Structure 1
């Protein structure tokens, strides 16, 4: 009899604990979200701002004052943010204290097309619109449009990822037949690159030439530097 009574007490205790836990869990889920926090993984260049992200959520009926945890669809929130043209990836999650947090990675431009239509070429080789909040310091691309800008991706991407080239090259001109010339900062000679083949070899030769000519103080004596042959640099003096 005593043993049976012990079992009954234990059962009742477990039932009460489960009931309280279920009640607390339900109350927790139905509690409204207290705050939205947006964190940018690269905060130095804001092509899209925290205010824009918050407005995007509110415009899509995700106002924190009108939605609870029970009905929030995190996948939908992420999908809404990832559709924005300046966002590369967004991860959204809820904290225990009721905060909705979004970690946002922005798209990264590597070149800017200038002409009848202006836009960026991003690090993945895709078209990226200009931002009203920030202008990227990237090489300007002339003679390009929406149909041919990706052909120069290997060239532009190499420049962006090389500290020396990124510091000295300010412009890329597209010629007929998808040949290219380069504009340099504070130098008036033309750099004829040719097509987009052998990019690494051509640039390695150019850097070796530039550093040697700079050391010998001869950079101002040239009017054209030709890199198209790949295995050599052909210079024309003024």
Structure 2
């Protein structure tokens, strides 16, 4: 019987590789977590701190540093970090060197509600608590706060944030009633009666046409109210 030495060599090499991989994996799992690295992604990194994340982990998971890597449950740690009201998403993994790395995306507020309850409205239209570490410079929402009016306020702010001029100049939304919203501007003395949230594109195009002309004519200061409530019209009330 002829022996296939090439097959035996290949089998021996395969067993050696599997053995080395298993040994390396065993040694890797036996190592301890050497350090913890918390990285905040994006440009919205103001509402949560590294110390706050570390404290959250210690309170809900215990100390991670110097714990064996095989005892660290990454999904559980991700869930704990994501449970913080300031966190939008979290990704946790272990490096080869034994460093526990957590990459966190914080939530982004786009409006601040000033009513019986005070909170932010984030860029997903959800309620977000105020932060003890930073106060966001976002438009203030006042008036009759209801679930529906907040939904509409989010639609307005989402539109405003996509326009460079409006984003820089709109500083407030006052809710007179559901379907009746009033905008306040940073510099101008007048307020803008927006009405409801239908046809926002048309309403703001009409407003910008009015604003450009009134700026050119130097008559902006003559107006107390600018109404966009009527179809394809800008109705102004003088001081």
Gaps of 5+ in 1: none
Deviation at 1:42, TM superposition (A): 2.1
Q: Does the 8 Å contact 2:33/2:69 carry over to 1?
A: yes
Deviation at 1:151, TM superposition (A): 2.8
Residue in 2 aligned with 1:138? 138
> RMSD across aligned C-alpha pairs, in angstroms?
2.5
Deviation at 1:153, TM superposition (A): 1.6
SS at match of 1:158: helix
Residue in 1 aligned with 2:32? 32
Once residues 197 and 24 of structure 1 are traced to their aligned partners in structure 2, the CA distance between those partners, rounded to angstroms, is 62
Bigger Cα displacement from structure 2, 24-33 vs 124-133: 24-33
Deviation readout 1:1-33 (Å, 9 max, x if unpaired): xx7999989877776665454333212112111
SS at match of 1:70: helix
Q: Does the 8 Å contact 1:94/1:101 carry over to 2?
A: yes
Deviation at 1:34, TM superposition (A): 0.9
Residue in 2 aligned with 1:54? 54
Query: CA separation of 1:18/1:222 partners in 2, compared to 1, >3 Å: closer, same or farther?
Result: closer
Q: Does the 8 Å contact 1:192/1:224 carry over to 2?
A: yes
Matched ranges for 1:50-129 at <5 A: 50-129=50-129
Report the TM-score when normalising by structure 2: 0.88
SS at match of 2:172: strand
SS at match of 1:64: coil
Once residues 33 and 152 of structure 2 are traced to their aligned partners in structure 1, the CA distance between those partners, rounded to angstroms, is 47
SS at match of 2:116: coil
Residue in 2 aligned with 1:192? 193
Q: Does the 8 Å contact 1:45/1:134 carry over to 2?
A: no
Once residues 127 and 87 of structure 2 are traced to their aligned partners in structure 1, the CA distance between those partners, rounded to angstroms, is 13
Tell me how many residue pairs correspond in the alignment.
238
Deviation readout 1:186-206 (Å, 9 max, x if unpaired): 211121111121112111211
Query: CA separation of 1:94/1:144 partners in 2, compared to 1, >3 Å: closer, same or farther?
Result: farther
Deviation at 1:139, TM superposition (A): 0.6
Q: Does the 8 Å contact 2:39/2:104 carry over to 1?
A: yes
Once residues 119 and 186 of structure 1 are traced to their aligned partners in structure 2, the CA distance between those partners, rounded to angstroms, is 25
Residue in 2 aligned with 1:212? 213
